[in-house]
């Protein structure tokens, strides 16, 4: 397991996820944090993008999930973000070259969820290893 990690914090995008009809009709703000566990030693030595994960591509993939087709549950949305992050990082089928993340941790927050109390956000956090994806 790699002790190194690439951290992406506070990615925000509008999406129409949730169980309630109004959540599907009116876009709401979601926030995503990602941690990619990956060996960064080669990039540290070489200073070459080809020796690391392109975190811009990972961020774009996560944003595309949030702005894409709706999900009822944050749990399902987090699974889709994890799969997209692995795909963008080359983590489904390593083919040499840049390093492949061994695991990804995803937190998905729904900001100002529609509940009858004052609540800043509701969130789920999952950690998936590359070998857990089908």
Catalytic residues: 110
Phi, then psi, of 67 in degrees rounded to 5: -85, -5
* Angstrom distances, CA of residue 11 to CA of 14, 46, 82, 97: 10, 28, 14, 27
Q: Which residues contact 129 (CB under 8 A, 6 or more apart)?
A: 102, 103
CA atoms within 13 A on the CB side of 132: 14
Residue 6, both tokens: 């690439």
CA-wise closest residue to 2 among 77, 48, 73, 52: 52
């Amino acid at each position: 397991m790699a002790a190194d990690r690439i951290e992406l914090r506070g990615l925000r995008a509008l999406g129409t996820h949730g169980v309630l009809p109004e959540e599907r009709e009116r876009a709401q703000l979601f926030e995503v944090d990602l941690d990619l566990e990956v060996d960064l030693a080669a990039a540290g030595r070489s200073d070459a993008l080809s020796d690391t994960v392109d975190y811009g591509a990972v961020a774009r993939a996560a944003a595309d999930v949030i702005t894409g087709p709706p999900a009822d549950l944050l749990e399902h949305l987090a699974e889709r973000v994890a799969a997209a992050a692995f795909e963008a990082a080359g983590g489904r089928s390593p083919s040499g070259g840049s390093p492949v993340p061994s695991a990804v941790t995803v937190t998905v927050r729904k900001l100002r969820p529609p509940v009858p109390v004052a609540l800043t956000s509701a969130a789920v956090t999952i950690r998936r290893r590359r070998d857990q994806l089908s």
